[in-house]
Amino acid sequence: MKFSSYNLTPQIKGNLEGLGFKKPTDIQYKTIPPIMRREDVLAIAQTGTGKTAAFAIPIIHILQTTPAREGHGNVRCLVMEPTHELANQITEVFQQLGKGTGVFSSCVIGGVDQAPQIKKLERDIDILVATPGRMFDLISQGHINLQSIEILVLDEADHMLDLGFIHDIRQLTKIIRHKHQTLFFSATINEEIKDLAYSLVNKPVRIQLSPNDPVSKNIDHSVAFIEMDDKRFFLERIITEHPESKILVFVRTKVRAERVFKALERVNIASLTIHSDKDQKERFEVMKQFKEGIIKILIATDVSARGIDIPNVEYVVNYDLPEVAENYVHRVGRTGRGTKKGIAVSFCSPEEKEVLDEIQGYLTKDITVMAIEKELYDETVAISEASEHDWKSLIEEANSFEQKKKKKGKKK
């Protein structure tokens, strides 16, 4: 079935065509009809399956084709997101799909000046995408009124719980007392998520895509056994052999991110880092440059793994294996989005083999091993060493970065 066959408004169909949406993914095919029937939905689907469009398309259609409910609020649909980056990206999806429909979307997040957000809230808003902290601040200040909410979307619910937002979600249900449609989306399901979901939805249509492999079938993922100090040489090789590709590199810590950034800088490879030491303005600028392809290499920590949804990321490199096995799925899921194909490569040092075992236990299968012949391994290291790049100096720079950060903390 194609999107052109759906009972959607001409504006939405035109936007879908312009964005290259032809056929719905599995989650979109199963989710769009019940949402358009105004039923509550509980959907469990792995990352990268197209779930944002699965709720955005029918929500825009509903709001475009039905009059606003009588009430004293200024928001018709509220979409809750766990991170600033996700909220910003989801808002962009709503704006792209809702172009020309008259459905107005806006976003409120913390970490940035609230004045421009308050200015937009002076008008009625069809769709408000928000992170919990800033939303509750603006509610307490009287800038957001949820008494006309028709649709509530809780997106990335499992990540919401990981970040400790369960109290905020419970508080939200006390504010929205009137009848509304609830859409609950999560990448994983456990007893805590199940209890939360069923306390929020009413006779929901339950949709669960649970393939044997939690990693999307669109992703070709493998692991390569590489000594810890040799990882940067192999990263350099991947980048130089794929100069036109967008590559997302995951590391364990923010110090490690800056170290890898410096290593690439020394071999004249431009990259950017994103982690919790950067303020929101810097993070938005980093995401903008990576999204637009101005810089093609982005180095990120796990905190950002669930907040990055950039189209056309061809490669994910797990420079360090994630300490939490479940994060492996979220990391590699940054490529192979929707119907696109993607490649993920993980570097595993001898010190990380136990972590690899945990990840494979979580996946219930072994990850394909990328065999590297000794000659190729030595050649990869030798080519970089020939450029006279001193690894010890990089460690010294990383230590210096850490000391500066500690001094900065003491001043505060």
**What are the backbone dihedrals phi and psi of residue 2, each rounded to the nearest 5 degrees, phi first?**
-100, 160
Residue type, 407: K
Closest CA to 301 of 322, 286, 329, 325: 322
Do residues 274 and 260 lie in contact, with contact meaning Cβ atoms separated by under 8 Å? no
103 CB burial (10 A radius; 0-12, 13-18, 19+): buried
In this chain, the answer to whether the domains covering 3-208 and 219-409 adopt an identical fold is yes
pLDDT one-digit tens code per residue, 100-111: 999 999 999 988
Q: What is the DSSP letter of 403?
A: H
Label the pairing between strands 105-108 and 41-44: unpaired
**Separation of first and last alpha carbons in the chain:** 59
pLDDT one-digit tens code per residue, 16-74: 999 989 899 889 999 999 999 999 999 988 767 788 999 999 999 999 999 887 766 78
**What are the backbone dihedrals phi and psi of residue 245, each rounded to the nearest 5 degrees, phi first?**
-90, 145
Residue 213: per-residue pLDDT = 66
Do residues 198 and 41 lie in contact, with contact meaning Cβ atoms separated by under 8 Å? no
Residue 305: per-residue pLDDT = 59
**What are the backbone dihedrals phi and psi of residue 247, each rounded to the nearest 5 degrees, phi first?**
-125, 125
> Could you confirm whether domain 3-208 is CATH 3.40.50.300?
yes
Closest CA to 298 of 130, 288, 306, 222: 288
The stretches in the chain having pLDDT less than 50 are 386-392, 394-395
Do residues 333 and 215 lie in contact, with contact meaning Cβ atoms separated by under 8 Å? yes
Residue 117 tokens, joined = 């957000």
* pTM for the model: 0.73
Residue 315 tokens, joined = 């490669």
CA 368 to chain centre: 25
pLDDT one-digit tens code per residue, 290-334: 989 999 999 999 866 566 678 889 999 999 999 888 889 889 988
Alpha-carbon dihedral angle through residues 114, 257, 310, 135, given to the nearest 10 degrees? -20
Residue 211 tokens, joined = 């393939």
Residue 216: per-residue pLDDT = 77
Residue 296: per-residue pLDDT = 96
Helices then strands, each counted (H, E), the chain: 16, 14
Sheet holding 247-250, edge to edge: 272-274, 297-300, 247-250, 315-318, 342-348, 219-225, 368-369
- Which pairs from 8-12 meet CB under 8 Å and 24+ separation? 8/57, 8/61, 9/61, 9/64, 9/65, 9/101, 11/64, 11/99, 11/100, 11/101, 12/57, 12/60, 12/61, 12/64, 12/97, 12/98, 12/101
N residues, the chain: 412
Do residues 76 and 125 lie in contact, with contact meaning Cβ atoms separated by under 8 Å? yes
Residue 142 tokens, joined = 């009287």
Contacts of 333 (CB under 8 A, 6+ apart): 46, 47, 48, 215, 216, 219
CATH assignment of 219-409? 3.40.50.300
Residue 304: per-residue pLDDT = 62
Q: Where are the domains of the chain?
A: 3-208, 219-409
DSSP for 184-252, written as a single string: EEES---HHHHHHHHHH-SSPEEEE---SSSS-TTEEEEEEE--GGGHHHHHHHHHHH-TTS-EEEE-S
Alpha-carbon dihedral angle through residues 323, 328, 330, 333, given to the nearest 10 degrees? 150
What three-state secondary structure class fits 386?
coil
